Amino acid sequence: MDSKELIARRVAQELKEGYVVNLGIGLPTMIPRFLPADIEITLQSENGFLGLGPLIGEPQPGVVNAGGQPCGLIPGAAIFDSATSFALIRGGHVDVTVLGGLQVDQDGNLANWMVPGKMVPGMGGAMDLVTGAKKVIVAMEHTTKDGESRLMQHCALPLTAKARVSMVVTELGVFGISHGEFILLEHAPNVTVDEIKAKTSAPLLVADGLKPMALDC
């Protein structure tokens, strides 16, 4: 499997029965494909939906996720305005948000919205989601196209939020953040700790219970 599928498969295991979950654009939108069949979660989208589902049949006008992709609605879904949507987010009613990232640092800071000198979509709802969700998971590839680590001592790009990231999942491993340090909790199949350390610019602690990623979902 490619790196994005591996990441999506592993993040899917963090989503539990009954959760209200917001998925960011890009890689996070792959995650529902890998949820266990017996798990029901409610997907929230900041553009005004609660109960997003897979697209079945022809797209319906205006029924799109936050990334503008056509989607479906599950029975019982609700459609509302942005004020209500962000009241849900800011009110702490989202259990987990999964976002892509450009950089995460050892203090749990996230940079995911701006690269100086390049055209990017803007921050969108990420600032509110990272602040309002109970748990923040960043799902991203471990390095840039130039091979530079995205797990850093200190983010070099403008921050989306400070000290809010709970977990980072990359194609190399699963990382917790505690007391200003990255902790390697799981390693990807056929990837060694030395390889992960070599591609991580921040200091990295290895958990006593380090184990391989389980990707059987």
List active site positions.
46
User: With 0-12 CB in 10 A as exposed, 13-18 as middle and 19+ as buried, what is 215?
Assistant: middle
CA–CA distance, 76 with 52 (Å, rounded to integer): 10
| Nearest-angstrom CA–CA distance, 15 and 18 | 9
Compute the half-sphere exposure of residue 2: CA atoms within 13 Å on the CB side of its CA.
5
3-state SS assignment for residue 140: coil
